[in-house]
Amino acid sequence: MKRIVRGLLATVALLLLMQVIRFERTNPPTTGLVHAPADVEKVLRRACFDCHSNETAWPWYTGVAPASWLVHRDVVEGRRHLNFSAWGQLPAEKRAKKQKEVGEEVRDGEMPPWFYLPLHPDAKLSDADRALLEAWAGGAASD
């Protein structure tokens, strides 16, 4: 019994200690919103913006370690690879390339990541959503 109590106390102490490592939950200003038809933008906002924009929703658990560490990593990496809020900053050929990649990731079912969906069921893409994004991605080059 004593052992269990000691184990629990150690776990609680470790969890508390983990809270010391904090990250800022930022949403920098939008500098160039993605140019896409309204229905495409709607799907992107629903399924991708948490990690690929400066309009991340930061629910309470994103402030609690270790969830905060994982979410922070996803947002930093996600924005670094593809940021729909800074889309307009990219040269045209880069935008075309990213747009094509959106189609590939969606077609392969890689994005949104599987681990994101249980807590964000709204982000699940229907066949129609996927077809819409792929059609948009296939038309890359314009904007």
Q: Interface residues with ligand HEC (CB under 6 A)?
A: 47-48, 50-52, 74, 77-78, 81-82, 101-102, 105-106, 111-113, 116
CB of 79 to ligand HEC, least distance (A): 9
Distance of closest approach, residue 6 Cβ to ligand HEC, in angstroms: 37
C-beta separation of 102 from 130 below 8 A: no
Q: Give the nearest distance from C-beta 15 to ligand HEC in angstroms.
A: 23
Specify the residue, 65 or 105, whose C-beta has the smaller distance to ligand HEC. Answer: 105
> Rounded to the nearest whole angstrom, what is the least distance from the CB of residue 78 to ligand HEC in the complex?
4
**Closer to ligand HEC by Cβ: residue 86 or 111:** 111
Q: State which amino acid sits at residue 83.
A: N
CA 63 to each of CA 24, 28, 45, 73: distance values in angstroms, whole numbers, following the listed order: 9, 18, 22, 13
Is 117 exposed, middle or buried, given 0-12, 13-18 or 19+ CB atoms closer than 10 A? Answer: middle
Q: Report the residue number, 82 or 86, with the smaller CB distance to ligand HEC.
A: 82
CA 112/CA 120 separation, integer angstroms: 10
